[in-house]
Amino acid sequence: MREIIVTLLFALVATCGYAQSAVTKRSVHYATHDNQELMMDIYTAPVAEDAEPRAAMIFAFGGGFVGGQRDHEYYDVYFDRLAREGIVVVSIDYRLGLRNLKRDMGIAEMIAAMQRAVDIATEDMYAATNYLIAHCEELGVDTTKIMLSGSSAGAIAAVQAEWQRCNRAPIADVLPDDFRYAGVVACAGAIFSTKGKPKFNDTPAPMLLFHGTSDSNVPYNKASIMGIGFYGSKYIAKQLDRVDGAYMFCSAAYVDHSLAVTPLISGCDTIMQFIRDYVYDGYKLRTSVVVESINGDKRPTRFGPMDYLKTNYANR
């Protein structure tokens, strides 16, 4: 365990190193929902014709369900690294349910809009999953090793998708009955619930959770009123403890929402270690790492639901 922690601490500040090989990108249409054509970019590195099927990583971008793009330069290092490691990387469009957010929404209307935004992003993630399953031979994908990942709103969609699948929610009925995700990588993610504190009814896929304790965009722990709200990485890790779920929780003290992106640039070693240990080798581990800058600023760590709404949507 000590070796794992030391490696993690180093990886969080290390740059990504890897063998050089060409990575190709192609874009395909994977679904049409609400008259919107949804595209995915597929990143792959060359493999031998007789190579075994490869793991796949579906990625959803960040942007508060208001904006964002699947091919933003923020994500280039992450896509390139995983592809060079032999993973089929799939960066997807998804519908932005809060793009036309009205400024004068009431609380009930805002809750309904948020629920729809999270739901349709989750639906699109499932549609991308089904596309990979249907085209697994063409893409060389091992359907037992399909993983989810995301940044901020995309991380919410990724965690939400696995939570809904574990709980056999109707929204997840589109997936094959025997399908399971192999892993989840969430950079500042959370679960959105309108029915009280979320729990896992089944043991979920191993999760790698990155989150800063001073994140005022997505709650580090939770932000809820009468059981309605977002439940972040700290809360999720506690729920995983209760169902013997495997996870790696990388917490950064007094760090803000920047952890929605920085792990995808400087944390690639940690992500690959998680994939090798938890997904490929099937280790059942619970690893928690707290990183704190000794000379860093002590930013606020306590926020209420209205603080999160103001941070994300005050200028919309």
Copy the structure tokens of residue 7. Answer: 């490696």
Average pLDDT, the chain: 92
Token pair 């969609």: residue: 157
> Where does the pLDDT of residue 257 fall: very low under 50, low under 70, confident under 90, or very high at 90 and above?
very high
pLDDT number for residue 10: 40
123 touches 91 (CB < 8 A): no
State pLDDT tens for residues 14-63.
Answer: 444 444 569 999 999 999 999 999 999 999 999 876 689 999 999 999 99
Residue 3 pLDDT more than 60?
no
Which ranges in 99-152 belong to alpha helices (H)? 107-134, 136-139
Mean pLDDT of 115-128: 99
d(CA 97, CA 67): 10
Collect all residues with Cβ–Cβ distance below 8 Å to 91 and sequence separation of at least 6.
Answer: 40, 41, 43, 59, 60, 61, 70, 71, 75, 79
Sign of the alpha-carbon torsion through 117, 120, 123, 128:
negative
State pLDDT tens for residues 129-166.
Answer: 999 999 999 999 999 999 999 999 999 999 999 999 99
> Where does the pLDDT of residue 191 fall: very low under 50, low under 70, confident under 90, or very high at 90 and above?
very high
pLDDT number for residue 160: 99
Percent of the chain scoring above 70 in pLDDT? 92
pLDDT number for residue 309: 80
Residue 102 pLDDT more than 70?
yes
Q: What are the extents of the domains in the chain?
A: 2-313
Least Cα distance to 65 among 25, 119, 16, 105 occurs for 119
Predicted TM-score (pTM) of the model is 0.91
3-class secondary-structure state, position 275: helix
State pLDDT tens for residues 198-223.
Answer: 999 999 999 999 999 999 999 999 99
pLDDT number for residue 16: 43
pLDDT number for residue 233: 99
pLDDT number for residue 78: 99
159 touches 190 (CB < 8 A): yes
- 20-24, 89-93, 114-118: segment of lowest average pLDDT: 20-24
What is the number of residues in the chain?
316
Long-range contacts of 47-53 (CB under 8 A, 24+ apart): 47/86, 47/140, 51/140, 52/142, 53/136, 53/140, 53/141, 53/142, 53/143
> What residues does 251 pair with on adjacent strands?
211, 290
For domain 2-313, which CATH number applies: 3.40.30.10, 3.30.300.30, 3.40.50.1820, 1.10.510.10?
A: 3.40.50.1820
Residue 6 pLDDT more than 50?
no
